[in-house]
Structure 1
Amino acid sequence: MPIVAVIFDAFGTVVQIGRKRHPYRQLLRLGALQGRRPSAADLHRLMTSSLSLDAAAETFGICLSPGQMKSLQHDLEDELDSISVYPDAVDALRLLKAEGVVTGICSNLAAPYGPVLRQHFSDVDGFALSYDVGVMKPHPGIYREICHQLGVTLGLDMPHSDERVAMIGDSVQCDRDGPRAAGISGFHLDRKGKGPISCLTQFAELALKTA
């Protein structure tokens, strides 16, 4: 079956953060110092809601001084400024676009990171970002959303379709196994070279051969 659409994960796959400051993690640590117990639900809330730093502090009941908020905001802005695109991502997208393959990005991330991602990849055909969609990978709903934007159908919804959708990312659970469970051909990217795919250009060439 021909590959008609390719979906990319974002961080660790098509972009990287040069200066990791973890401002939201810092926020939760400040909350812990105030006696608030962090939980796994915190991450889910941050990734599935459009929460700025100050809105997140209010949502979690964390009291910050103006100086603390200024410091966190500075770290967030510094982290956002340090985001850069992997060169092989540019090459892979160029190869796929030249052959008429539609492309999209599907990622779990907090709201402030979305605009930067969209700016770097203004020419892709769709974005399914967890804070917009309201669910996180590997929930099938986020894969369904990106496929809807790309005008293709999940294999889960149409098992006899002659169209094939592929996805790649650096998470086995979210970018290989999750997509496969939804009817997408999922692939794991291991930039350290310990897996079969270590470069997005290599993946794009593989996808085009299959197509």
Structure 2
Amino acid sequence: MLNNPADFKVIVFDVFGTLIKAEPKRSPYRKLMKWLKDQGRRPASDDVAVIMSTFGEFTEVAKRFGKDIPAPLLQELNEDLSDDLQAMTLYEDTVTILEKLRQSGFRVALCSNLAKPYGEAVFSILPNLEAYAWSYEVGNIKPEPEIYQYLIDQLNCQPREVLFIGDTLLADVTGPQAFGMSARLIDRKKGQKISDILSDLL
């Protein structure tokens, strides 16, 4: 794996906790899973993976679990989702840093484990980047190698040319490194900024 900053051509970012603030949420998908449990469905270890790898809204997710959502609950879930999406805000340095990286010749991409409505909202906030790898489009979640391969295929580059930035050790550092990328962890809770993580590139 190459770690010389001169080797990097692509900077890939996670989304929540990295570029977008993870504010307190209404968590409609958690509410959906609680309802499924109340209907007698036993929770499974891969429930989150199923949600984030489903190309669809609440009804499609529920069908993956073998249930149909009643209309009142669906309305409630959609209202909670709307509140979540409206609460999404970029970190103060996000736009400036992304633009600075692009002006410096780097290609910039996003790779994130997201349910479909959140991915669509992120795209509307951060459009026109070189590539997007959303778990619900790929059908796999980080740190599964398929999502990193999807990203590489879009970018038509080599893993060694990619630097991955995110706030989760397994998904954003261990997974990318195992795939052949370089990776760096950011801790927004401790006040770190992207410029602190990329000081050698900016």
TM-score by length of structure 2 reads 0.90
Q: Cα offset for 1:51?
A: 2.5
**Mapped contact 1:168–1:189 kept (Cα < 8 A):** yes
Q: Check 1:40–1:66 CA distance in 2 against 1; reply closer, same or farther (3 A cut).
A: same
Residue 81 of structure 2: SS of its match in structure 1? helix
Q: Cα offset for 1:68?
A: 1.6
Residue 85 of structure 1: SS of its match in structure 2? coil
Residue 18 of structure 1: SS of its match in structure 2? coil
Residue of structure 2 aligned with 1:125, choices 100, 123, 130? 130
**Mapped contact 2:130–2:155 kept (Cα < 8 A):** yes
* Letter in structure 1 aligned against 2:19: V
Structure 2: runs of 5+ lacking an equivalent: none
Structure 1: runs of 5+ lacking an equivalent: 156-163
Residue of structure 2 aligned with 1:187, choices 169, 184, 188? 184
Query: Where in structure 2 are the equivalents of 1:53-202 lying within 5 Å?
Result: 53-155=58-160, 164-193=161-190, 198-202=192-196
- Tell me the distance in 2 between the aligned counterparts of 1:69 and 1:185: 41
- Tell me the distance in 2 between the aligned counterparts of 1:126 and 1:84: 21
- Tell me the distance in 1 between the aligned counterparts of 2:153 and 2:124: 21
Aligned-pair identity in percent equals 34
Residue 152 of structure 1: SS of its match in structure 2? coil
Q: Aligned-residue CA RMSD in angstroms?
A: 1.7
- Tell me the distance in 1 between the aligned counterparts of 2:138 and 2:36: 27
Q: Check 1:63–1:141 CA distance in 2 against 1; reply closer, same or farther (3 A cut).
A: closer
How many residues end up aligned between the 2 structures?
197
Q: Deviations over 1:18-62 (max 9, x none)?
A: 340111110110111111111122211111111311222233233
Counterpart position of 1:205: 199
Counterpart position of 2:13: 8
- Tell me the distance in 1 between the aligned counterparts of 2:19 and 2:79: 24
Q: Cα offset for 1:17?
A: 4.2
